[in-house]
Amino acid sequence: MLRTPMKWNDLSEEACPVARAMSVIGDRWTLLILRDCLFGFRRFDDIQRRLGITRHVLAERLKKLETAGLLDRRPYQERPVRHEYVPTQAAKDFIPVMQVMIGWANDHLSVNKPSPYKTLMRDTREPIAPKVIDANTGTEITSKNIWIEEND
């Protein structure tokens, strides 16, 4: 099947869900900003300090995440007005994806440093090992048992 080449500025309108996701989180800063907001760092200055990102780039990426419906901007101070960036349900639904990414990176992109994160069950504080399963059967999805084909 012949396809029209994808253009970066038009990815949000693509039928491909990977392309649409990349249109929102497809650069390193955006994903790291989302990570920090999900991990509880929600104020502009805190995020900027943690990442070492320029104020201009941070403001641009926060606006992009807000426009995409992943963050809500809420005032926490009146004079001067300052905002925090609170994850929406759409952002919270990304947490399992991020956990799988962390597990994949720990398994395949090793460095000689321990991971700064531990993923624990909230109620028991026991470590978890994320995996992707088929919600219909409970079967783990792996490269050995998945088949992807294009819709006609």
pLDDT tens per residue, range 83-128? 999 999 999 999 999 999 988 888 898 888 888 888 899 999 999 8
Of residues 37 and 106, more confidently modeled = 37
Domain segments of the chain as ranges: 9-93
Backbone dihedral angles phi then psi of residue 63, each to the nearest 5 degrees: -60, -40
- 9-93 adopts what CATH topology? Arc Repressor Mutant, subunit A (1.10.10)
The rounded percent of the chain whose pLDDT value lies above 90 is 59
For the chain, helix, strand, coil in percent to 5 are: 45, 10, 45
In contact, 83 and 65? CB cutoff 8 Å: no
Any idea which of 21-25, 63-67, 83-87 has the lowest mean pLDDT?
A: 21-25
> What is the Cα Rg of the chain in Å?
18
- d(CA 71, CA 83) in angstroms, rounded, equals 12
Tell me if the pTM is above 0.85: no
Split at pLDDT 50, 70, 90, the class of 14 is low
pLDDT of residue 76: 92
Cis peptide before 80 (omega within 30 of 0): yes
Strand partners, 74: 84
- From 33, 67, 66, select the one nearest 50 (Cα to Cα): 33
